[in-house]
């Protein structure tokens, strides 16, 4: 049985993720201690929060050395919304460097659409190409809730974009997956996506 | 920019789900756990819980019901939030966003604290206001704590909301809440043409499909909230969506009637 850990770093949403992974058939648990970071098969960074508050928490709780060690071992790691944003080199919201596991920045959405709150379809061809599209269709929509967007240095890493706003929805690079939408709040489509991610993409 | 939402609103008063009519008549309608579970199963776009008990605290009953009801539908909560610890509790239990009303008038510090901790995408302001026969030009809004209309200027409050770290504003036509089709379109006109508020707006209070069509035609209208009709009919929102002329802007329903 795959061991999935949800990282507790003060960025909310942990309960919803526990429920969603369980409902998708993969029970998860909360990673409260730094010693567990390298022991789980799949580590998930949840995310409802402000970048500066989240980054301060990672520093204050001495999680960074353990997280970088996990990254050096190339262990599968997934970030959701703010969690995904932390993977990048620079975050405009905090004006600080991120974990730098993905080259690129996280920037404020344009002033004419300062927030992306609600449901959007995502580019299905990208999902299918990367084995994430099983049981999903072009009309499958997912829940977004963000004011900053992923802006990777290598556009080739963008696996799928949101259909309406055309911002990156999923970025994959080796063992790292950054997801801008919230699969845990995307009803049945979100559960299917989580299953596809665990089984078809990561091969657990 | 995402699909515009048609959201289900659940009123809670003194630890009971209620149907509300103009925020003055209330009829008990069961428990929160059941309502959340059903709306989640019906795949509504979003669930908005509004606790209208007029207390400056969050009911432990509501917190317990949210925490024990595992749903995968976006969840917004408003009512009684008066300190950052309340926000912490709600977000940790699975609320995606919170609604602040009193804080718009009396506690901007709480809005800034919440936005600094959870991001302004998670913060929605709430401003109930209406026009009445006695006040056809300048809208009124209720001061529930003192059981009277407030003396504050709605226009000034709207302008203030533009500069606060809010992502959207919930605007209720409180005089027509609970009706079906009596929403006053002058409210939208006031926001969009007389104020400087230019963020997303969620409208609530007696909205029928024809009215929703007009409201949704404005680019800043991000959601329509439905209240009482949701409680009784699984197809309420799918049917409502099917009646919208601009329904390409709306997330397709999974269960439209044949």
Q: From the centroid of its chain, how far is CA B103?
A: 15
B72 CB within 8 Å of a chain A CB: yes
Q: Which stretches of chain A are DSSP H helices?
A: 14-23, 51-60, 64-72, 82-86, 124-129, 187-195
Stated as kind and residue range, the H or E segment containing B213 is helix B209-216
Residues in A touching B199 (Cβ below 8 Å): 114-115
B4 CB within 8 Å of a chain A CB: yes
* Distance (Å, whole) CA A75 – CA A11: 22
- Tokens, residue A115: 């927030």
User: Chain B interface, mutation test: which of A117, A145, A147, A167, most B Cβ atoms within 10 Å?
Assistant: A117
* Distance (Å, whole) CA B99 – CA B228: 20
Residue A3 CB partners (closer than 8 Å, separation 6+): A39, A40, A41, A42
CB-CB under 8 Å, A162 with B74: no
pLDDT in tens, chain B (258 residues): 789 999 999 999 999 999 888 888 888 888 899 999 999 988 899 999 999 998 889 999 999 999 998 899 999 999 999 999 999 999 989 999 999 999 998 899 999 999 999 999 999 999 999 998 777 788 988 887 777 888 889 999 999 999 999 999 999 999 998 888 899 999 999 999 999 999 999 999 999 999 999 999 999 999 999 987 777 677 888 888 888 876 678 888 764 443
Burial (0-12, 13-18, 19+ Cβ within 10 Å), A98 = buried
Nearest CA in chain B to A139: B252
Q: How far is A39 from chain B (nearest CA, A)?
A: 24
Residue A203 CB partners (closer than 8 Å, separation 6+): none
Q: What is the ipTM of this complex?
A: 0.92
Q: Is the distance from CB of B117 to CB of A50 less than 8 angstroms? A: yes
- Contacts of B230-237 with CB under 8 Å at 24 or more apart are B230/B8, B230/B9, B230/B10, B230/B39, B230/B44, B231/B17, B231/B19, B231/B29, B231/B35, B234/B38, B234/B42, B237/B6, B237/B8, B237/B42, B237/B44, B237/B45
């Amino acid at each position: 049985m795959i061991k999935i850990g949800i990282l507790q770093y003060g960025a909310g949403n942990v309960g919803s993720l526990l429920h969603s992974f369980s409902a998708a058939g993969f029970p998860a648990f909360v990673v409260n201690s730094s010693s567990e970071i390298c022991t789980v098969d799949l580590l998930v960074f949840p995310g409802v929060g402000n970048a500066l508050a989240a980054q301060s928490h990672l520093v204050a709780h001495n999680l960074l050395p353990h997280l970088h060690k996990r990254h050096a071992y190339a262990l599968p790691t997934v970030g959701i919304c703010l969690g995904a944003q932390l993977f990048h080199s620079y975050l405009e919201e905090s004006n600080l460097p991120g974990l730098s596991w993905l080259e690129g920045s996280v920037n404020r959405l344009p002033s004419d659409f300062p927030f992306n709150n609600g449901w959007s379809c995502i580019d299905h061809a990208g999902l299918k190409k990367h084995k994430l599209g099983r049981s999903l269709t072009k009309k499958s929509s997912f829940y977004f809730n963000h004011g900053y967007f992923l802006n990777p240095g290598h556009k080739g890493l963008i696996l799928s974009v949101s259909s309406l706003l055309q911002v990156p929805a999923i970025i994959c690079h080796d063992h790292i997956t950054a997801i801008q939408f919230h699969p845990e709040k995307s009803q049945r489509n979100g559960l299917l996506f989580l299953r596809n991610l665990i089984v078809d993409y990561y091969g657990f | 920019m995402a699909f515009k939402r048609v959201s289900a609103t659940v009123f809670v008063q003194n630890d009971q789900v209620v149907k509300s009519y103009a925020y003055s008549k209330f009829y008990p309608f069961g428990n929160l756990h059941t309502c959340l579970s059903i709306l989640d199963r019906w795949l509504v776009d979003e669930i908005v819980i509004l606790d209208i008990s007029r207390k400056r605290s969050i009911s432990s009953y509501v917190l317990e019901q949210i925490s024990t009801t595992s749903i995968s539908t976006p969840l917004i909560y408003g009512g009684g939030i008066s300190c950052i610890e309340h926000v912490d509790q709600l977000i940790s239990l699975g609320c995606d966003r919170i609604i602040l009303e009193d804080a718009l008038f009396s506690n901007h510090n709480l809005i800034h604290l919440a936005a600094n901790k959870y991001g302004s995408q998670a913060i929605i302001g709430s401003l109930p206001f209406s026009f009445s026969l006695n006040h056809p030009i300048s809208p009124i809004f209720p001061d529930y704590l003192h059981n009277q209309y407030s003396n504050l200027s709605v226009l000034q409050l709207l302008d203030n909301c533009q500069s606060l770290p809010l992502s959207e504003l919930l605007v209720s036509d409180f005089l027509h809440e609970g009706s079906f089709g009596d929403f006053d379109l002058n409210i939208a006109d006031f926001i969009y043409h007389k104020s400087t508020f230019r963020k997303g707006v969620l409208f609530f209070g007696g909205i029928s499909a024809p009215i929703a069509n007009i409201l949704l035609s404005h680019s800043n209208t991000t959601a329509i909230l439905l209240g009482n009709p949701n409680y009784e009919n699984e197809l309420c929102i799918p049917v409502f969506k099917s009646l919208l002329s601009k329904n390409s802007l709306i997330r397709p329903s999974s269960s439209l009637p044949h």
